[in-house]
Amino acid sequence: MSLLRTVCSAVVALLFSGLAQANSYKSTALVLALDDITIVEATYLLEGYGIPWDGIEFTQTGQNLPMLEASDVGYYGLFIIVAQLYSNGASLLTDERWQELYDYQVKYGVRMVHLNVAPSSDFGVKAIGSCCSDGAEQNLTLVDGIAAKEFPTAGLKTADMSTLQLFHFPASILDANTSTTTAIAEFQPNSHYSEASVAAVINKLDTGREQMAFFLGVGNWSTTSTYLGHAWVHWGYRGTYPGYRRINLQTQVDDLFLETIVYNSSDSFRLRFQDLEQTVEWLVDINRRLPTGSSYFPEFGFNANGNLIYTYTAGENLTQYTCDKPVFTTWEEATPLEYIKPLGDGHNQWSSSQTFDFTGQCLFLDPLTQFLANTTNRDSLGLVSHTFTHLGLNNATYNDALIEISFNLAYAELMNFTNAAKFSGSGLIPPAITGLHNGDVIRAWSDNGLWNAIGDNTRPILRNPDNFHWPLITNVAQNGYGGFQITPRFATRMYFNCDQIGSDVAQWIATGGGTENSTIYDLLDYERTTVGNQLLSLYHDPYMFHQPNIRSWDVEEVMIAGRMQKLSLLEMWVETVTAEMARLTTWPIVTLKHDHIAAAFNRRMLVDACNPIVEYSTSNGAINGFTVSCDTDSFCDVPIPVTVGQKLADTKGFPTEQIGSDPMTVWVKLDGTPISFAFA
């Protein structure tokens, strides 16, 4: 499998050169690996983009490849091969099978990516060692200028990337192969190596065959692996592929208006208007600093009863007001976390005589509602229901769930939240993420016009097991009610009952995340790597925060963004995460409100159900356009996104989207006929 063997491929290239005029091939990636786990590690980023793939597990020498083509139509648009399928010192792919892949590449111009391979003459290089079994760091960087030249649509910056826990092989390019082999990434000097060495290459062979090879391990847990994945995806597809790339950063803040007892303390904390004032000022500042096209905002889940609790107390001290009492329900019954409530079971906690007759006169005694009465302030933030009292719903009745959601939505209308620019009225954040196995509760939500709720990714049963980029759709057996959407949400280490650095770090240490001497900077660095990899992996799941995490105007200063400043826990987190994204990419950072991110998850699932197909047409060895179709007779209920790496001659009237430096996406609605596009 050395480069010398490509001489015979040159003959093949001549034989097929006449066919290249009429060839076309499909975008599906073919992944060859030794086991299912490795296939997952090689395809998780394809899943993030929405690029279809076929994975073949090789278990024995001589195993055949799938059918690659028929009638001059290629079935695959990219080959991804992990570790050269080496097992017991030899590849399970025979020379004949390798040649089949090479011939296909030459005929269709399809590229090949090798992951986790050892340097050898197959890639025009030689190994100069291995690293680092002793845990030593050896940073990796892209070669200066290579991203703009070879994969410009990837939007990657040159940055130091860790190789800790990624076993790797520093290499050098063989003198005989300098004309066909280009280094695209380098390992930097460290305690083992005094000079930079080659980490990855592109081979452009005389036959026209092209391949990219990485001399380090691969894993979906690794930010470095994910970062490099965008290089090979965009290089492999030349920037045009089914699906799209976007950083959607959603930060949902639960319990607006409520009070929370602070961790390891008898004190309680309720958000002040000064905290929200500072938040809005900070939003203007950070959006100015984010990449072009960015639009970030936090979203608040509100509980109206907290407003009543505050104003009733305030009204008692003001003789001219007689304010309505807040609602105090009986404390909910404790249940197992995933308790499935029998339909019709339970006891009403709400009084049957309770009516919604609260008045704005008293509600606006609350400085928080006064702040949100200003439309500029209100429209700076997202707003979504978190139910009226925060009553736990695992064992709730239909009646209680109906009142909890209907009263909170009535409150939203009374307070003019429903006219807010970023209000979501079709979904909710369930209190403590309860009620998702209670069919009576979900039916009450549905009867109030809701179709989606947020979930909790720490509970696997609330994620879609088939694809983490899809929402979970409820069913009667597990949830008591079918057809309701649960949108996934990540937890953070900004804990629900922490209002300042001290309490948050203390809880992180107590729960085993940090050590005795850990600081807020250690915690933020942990979040940087964890969340950074999630965002790079194109997860769009919102992130969970709570109202104490917004305390800012009277907290200690912290060194963030190069200066000492007073920031809330949420703001520290966002500053850290967005700085990491800006360090690695040029991508815009965009927030969608609750209902819109739910719709995006739903649309992704519906698009995948259509099995979209992008088929590239070629002329003289170059792609000149593509055709969009799908397995369902070219009918699809939702538009199919296709990212386009070149300018289109005609968009055929379909909507396009291009945000900041991101490549353009065309949204193609199929109504029974494939749609073809030509490049300009």
Is the four-CA dihedral 390, 396, 398, 400 of positive or negative sign?
Answer: negative
Both 544 and 426 in one domain: the answer is: yes
Both 582 and 635 in one domain: the answer is: no
Both 235 and 257 in one domain: the answer is: no
Amino acid identity of residue 152, one-letter, is P
Helix (H) or strand (E) holding 95: helix 95-108
Band (498; pLDDT cuts 50, 70, 90): very high
**Residue 420 φ/ψ region, left for φ over 0, alpha for ψ in the -120 to 50 degree band, beta for the rest:** beta
Residues facing 129 on adjacent strands? none
Q: In this predicted model, what pLDDT tens digit does every residue of 633-663 receive, in sequence order?
A: 899 999 999 999 999 999 999 999 999 999 9
Tell me what pLDDT residue 497 has: 98
Both 340 and 197 in one domain: the answer is: no
148: pLDDT strictly greater than 70: yes
DSSP 483-508: S-EEE--B--SS-TT--SHHHHHHHH
Which of 390, 324, 384, 332 shows the shortest CA–CA distance to 354? Answer: 324
482: pLDDT strictly greater than 70: yes
What CATH number is associated with residue 447? 3.20.20
The predicted model scores a pTM of 0.94
Amino acid identity of residue 204, one-letter, is K
13: pLDDT strictly greater than 50: no
Whether residue 520 is contained in a domain is answered as yes
Q: In this predicted model, what pLDDT tens digit does every residue of 171-230 receive, in sequence order?
A: 999 999 999 999 999 999 999 999 999 999 999 999 999 999 999 999 999 999 999 999
Q: In this predicted model, what pLDDT tens digit does every residue of 233-250 receive, in sequence order?
A: 999 999 999 999 999 999
Region 308-318: mean pLDDT is 78
Whether residue 311 is contained in a domain is answered as no
Candidate ranges 3-7, 15-19, 81-85; pick with highest mean pLDDT: 81-85
143: pLDDT strictly greater than 80: yes
Both 233 and 261 in one domain: the answer is: no
Whether residue 101 is contained in a domain is answered as yes
Spatial distance between the Cα atoms of 526 and 515, rounded to a whole number of angstroms:
12
Other beta carbons within 10 Å of 94: 14
Both 264 and 228 in one domain: the answer is: no
Region 118-131: mean pLDDT is 96
Q: In this predicted model, what pLDDT tens digit does every residue of 557-579 receive, in sequence order?
A: 999 999 999 999 999 999 999 99
Spatial distance between the Cα atoms of 533 and 165, rounded to a whole number of angstroms:
15
How many Cα neighbours within 13 Å face the side chain of 539?
Answer: 22
15: pLDDT strictly greater than 50: no
The C-alpha R_g of the chain, in whole angstroms, comes to: 28
Whether residue 370 is contained in a domain is answered as no
Spatial distance between the Cα atoms of 301 and 30, rounded to a whole number of angstroms:
43
Q: In this predicted model, what pLDDT tens digit does every residue of 346-401 receive, in sequence order?
A: 999 998 888 898 887 889 999 999 999 999 999 999 999 999 999 999 999 999 99
**Mean pLDDT across the chain:** 94
Minimum mean pLDDT among 142-151, 352-361, 462-471: which range? Answer: 352-361
Please identify, among 205, 239, 273, the residue that sits at the C-terminal boundary of a domain.
239
Q: Which is more confident, 632 or 259?
A: 259
Whether residue 329 is contained in a domain is answered as no
Region 286-315: mean pLDDT is 94
85: pLDDT strictly greater than 60: yes
Please identify, among 596, 621, 647, the residue that sits at the C-terminal boundary of a domain.
596
Q: In this predicted model, what pLDDT tens digit does every residue of 402-457 receive, in sequence order?
A: 999 999 999 999 999 999 999 999 999 999 999 999 999 999 999 999 999 999 99
Minimum mean pLDDT among 326-330, 512-516, 566-570: which range? Answer: 326-330
Tell me what pLDDT residue 317 has: 65
19: pLDDT strictly greater than 70: no
Which of 383, 385, 401, 489 shows the shortest CA–CA distance to 437? Answer: 401
112: pLDDT strictly greater than 80: yes
18: pLDDT strictly greater than 70: no
Q: Are 124 and 177 in contact (CB under 8 A)?
A: yes
Whether residue 604 is contained in a domain is answered as no
Please identify, among 194, 214, 239, the residue that sits at the C-terminal boundary of a domain.
239
Region 610-624: mean pLDDT is 93
Both 524 and 643 in one domain: the answer is: no
Spatial distance between the Cα atoms of 556 and 505, rounded to a whole number of angstroms:
14
Other beta carbons within 10 Å of 76: 25
Both 38 and 173 in one domain: the answer is: yes
Spatial distance between the Cα atoms of 199 and 49, rounded to a whole number of angstroms:
25
Give the domain extent around 491. Answer: 252-303+336-350+379-596
Q: In this predicted model, what pLDDT tens digit does every residue of 528-547 receive, in sequence order?
A: 999 999 999 999 999 999 99
Both 41 and 118 in one domain: the answer is: yes
Whether residue 361 is contained in a domain is answered as no
Other beta carbons within 10 Å of 622: 10
20: pLDDT strictly greater than 50: no
Spatial distance between the Cα atoms of 161 and 152, rounded to a whole number of angstroms:
19
- Helix, strand, coil % (nearest 5) of the chain? 35, 25, 45
**Residue 512 φ/ψ region, left for φ over 0, alpha for ψ in the -120 to 50 degree band, beta for the rest:** left
Residues facing 54 on adjacent strands? 30
Both 570 and 650 in one domain: the answer is: no
Spatial distance between the Cα atoms of 388 and 329, rounded to a whole number of angstroms:
11
DSSP 604-636: HHHHHHT-EEEEEEEETTEEEEEEEEETTTTB-
Both 437 and 550 in one domain: the answer is: yes
Q: In this predicted model, what pLDDT tens digit does every residue of 573-605 receive, in sequence order?
A: 999 999 999 999 999 999 999 999 999 999 999
How many Cα neighbours within 13 Å face the side chain of 469?
Answer: 26
Tell me how many domains the chain contains. Answer: 3
Residue 340 contacts by C-beta under 8 Å, 6 or more apart in sequence? Answer: 437, 438, 478, 479, 480
Spatial distance between the Cα atoms of 461 and 445, rounded to a whole number of angstroms:
20
17: pLDDT strictly greater than 50: no
Region 281-302: mean pLDDT is 98
279: pLDDT strictly greater than 50: yes
Both 575 and 495 in one domain: the answer is: yes
Spatial distance between the Cα atoms of 156 and 176, rounded to a whole number of angstroms:
30
Whether residue 605 is contained in a domain is answered as no
- Indicate the length of the chain as a whole number: 680
What CATH number is associated with residue 25? 3.40.50.880
